[in-house]
Amino acid sequence: MTAAPMPIGVPFFLAGIFLALQVTGVSHYEIEPNNQWTHLLLGLASLVFLSFGSVMLFGRRSLALDLSTRSLVRQQGFLVPLHRDSRQLSEFSGVVIAYDSGDSDSPAQYPVRLRAIYGKDFQITRPVSYGESLRQAEYLCRLLSMPLIDTTTDHEAVIAPDRVGQALRDRLLPAVLEAERVDRPPGLRSKVSENGGNVTIVISGGKSMAAVFAVSSAAVGLLVAMPIARRILSPGGPRGIEFPILMGFILFLTVPATAWCVKLIAARRAKTVVKASSKGLVIERRSVWRTRTTEVPAADIFDVDYSTIESTLKSVRTGFTNAAPPAETMLRAQRFLTVLRPLLPNQGIIVKSNQGLTRFGEGLPVAELRYLNWVLKKTLAGR
């Protein structure tokens, strides 16, 4: 596996050459002002552009898997290898699919790694698609006879080497399903109905209290704005600069509250309908204006899991612990996360397949997510 040169380096490399020719006097393009500081700055810019362009164009990185010696060799360099890192396959216990949420400048990624028995894991690739990451991990598992370990959600899924590549319905045994059995919790927010091996789950939209609060906010805004509007429209109403100021105040009171009201009422009317059977899942997200349908065949489903905000906060706390910040900073962060917890919704049910990750049921209680997760697995397995 070799990383190809990046075309993005071409314009930087050419710009560096042009600046170098200008500094050395080969190019006679006039630049104003023309003094020693100009040539110094051009020389520095030329070095920067040439360095970055050279790395992008001529940098080489390769990963070789030698099954004869049971080793991994990673090489880096310019045209010829300059650095070599070798690891024995006996140092690893499995192939891991991880999750990296990224940041504002980079997308979420699903790195494929080899889990080290001791020390740091060995990273193979960093796909931005879960489906691509799953395919690469399954290929490596079959090639290396290692288990597949999925850590992208709350509960780590470990698949034995002889079962890698099988769909979830083929791996679910009756004894396992019975051991994971979850009783129906009281106060279920979603509606679950079963009919001849088929299950339909209807999850309503936003909470009614949120809609009531939005309507109340809009009503208060209108009650405050109406006296001002009557004064503006009266015969002796304000004129000149006072008129646009009062009109702007009315818009400031009514427009945001009304828009929020409409949005939450629309969310209240929206709902998610999940139809499950041994053939797969059909997920319909219905809004006021349209319906989006996602079909996931059972043969493509790798796993079904649920994720809560508790796991997200736990990972953040773990990050703080690993970074070893000052005790006072860590204490403040933990207090902040504790206060923030009631305001954040759970992440819902997550269907992992060759198509990627499909989510639904965001905001449902943990007990309900656990129950729905078991119902979906039981239905997919044809039990």
Q: How is residue 298 written in tokens?
A: 């059972």
Mean pLDDT computed over every residue of the chain: 75
Residues written for the chain: 383
**pLDDT number for residue 177:** 81
Phi then psi for residue 326, to 5 deg, are -60, 150
pLDDT-derived band at 323, boundaries 50, 70, 90: very low
Selection from 163, 99, 183 nearest residue 352 by Cα: 99
Whether the CB-CB separation of 14 and 53 falls below 8 Å is answered with yes
Other CB atoms within 10 Å distance of the CB of residue 100: 14
**pLDDT number for residue 353:** 92
Whether the CB-CB separation of 358 and 313 falls below 8 Å is answered with no
Summarised one tens digit per residue, pLDDT across range 126-154 is 888 999 999 999 999 998 899 999 998 88
Enter the DSSP assignment of 178: H
Summarised one tens digit per residue, pLDDT across range 349-377 is 999 999 899 999 888 888 899 999 999 99
Whether the CB-CB separation of 176 and 169 falls below 8 Å is answered with no
**pLDDT number for residue 58:** 59
| Residue 312 scores a pLDDT above 60 | no
Range of weakest confidence among 9-23, 176-190, 216-230, 317-331: 317-331
**pLDDT number for residue 319:** 46
Stretch 339-356: mean pLDDT: 76
Q: 33: cis peptide before it, omega within 30°?
A: yes
Stretch 306-312: mean pLDDT: 71
Summarised one tens digit per residue, pLDDT across range 266-281 is 666 678 899 999 899 9
**pLDDT number for residue 135:** 93
Summarised one tens digit per residue, pLDDT across range 207-225 is 544 555 555 555 655 565 5
- The domain ranges of the chain are 2-61, 67-165, 185-204+271-380, 208-269
pLDDT-derived band at 322, boundaries 50, 70, 90: very low
**pLDDT number for residue 56:** 64
Summarised one tens digit per residue, pLDDT across range 92-124 is 999 999 988 776 667 889 999 999 998 888 888
Stretch 69-75: mean pLDDT: 76
| Residue 186 scores a pLDDT above 70 | yes
